Amino acid sequence: GENVEQHPSTLSVQEGDSAVIKCTYSDSASNYFPWYKQELGKGPQLIIDIRSNVGEKKDQRIAVTLNKTAKHFSLHITETQPEDSAVYFCAGAWTGGGADGLTFGKGTHLIIQP
């Protein structure tokens, strides 16, 4: 089945600096790659996603890039703020556009140091 590897497991950055989280996948048929932010004790929140026909997508301070050849995609957060501290998950979907569910990475705990 599909496998999604996520790195690093923990990332600490100074407030105002940028953060980058990377994920790789094994199934080249994957066509949809969302990113979720999860705060303690809450459900994951969809923050940005990208489809396989696009190389980059931006939404204010966050951006996602996709390299289909290398089978990896990354989340970029610029000008980090304390409220960006959370666990971030990447995911992939390949069957039916995700109707069968998503496969998640193990998560990255992002810590923003004041």
Partner 1 sequence: SQTIHQWPATLVQPVGSPLSLECTVEGTSNPNLYWYRQAAGRGLQLLFYSVGIGQISSEVPQNLSASRPQDRQFILSSKKLLLSDSGFYLCAWSAFGDEQYFGPGTRLTVT
Q: Which is nearer to partner 1, 44 or 86 (CB)?
A: 44
User: Within 10 A of 18 (CB to CB), how many other CB atoms are there?
Assistant: 12
Nearest distance from C-beta of residue 80 to partner 1, angstroms: 22
Sheet holding 4-7, edge to edge: 4-7, 19-25, 72-77, 62-67, 56-59
49 touches partner 1 (CB under 8 A) = yes
For residue 89, state whether it binds partner 1 (rule: CB under 8 A).
Answer: yes
Strand (E) or helix (H) holding 14: strand 10-14
Stretch that binds partner 1, among 15-23, 56-64, 74-82, 101-109 (CB under 8 A): 101-109
CB nearer to partner 1: pick between 6 and 74: 6
In 3D, which of 18, 20, 17, 24 has the Cα closest to residue 2? 24
- Residues binding partner 1 (CB under 8 A): 6, 32, 34, 36, 41-46, 49, 89, 93, 96-107
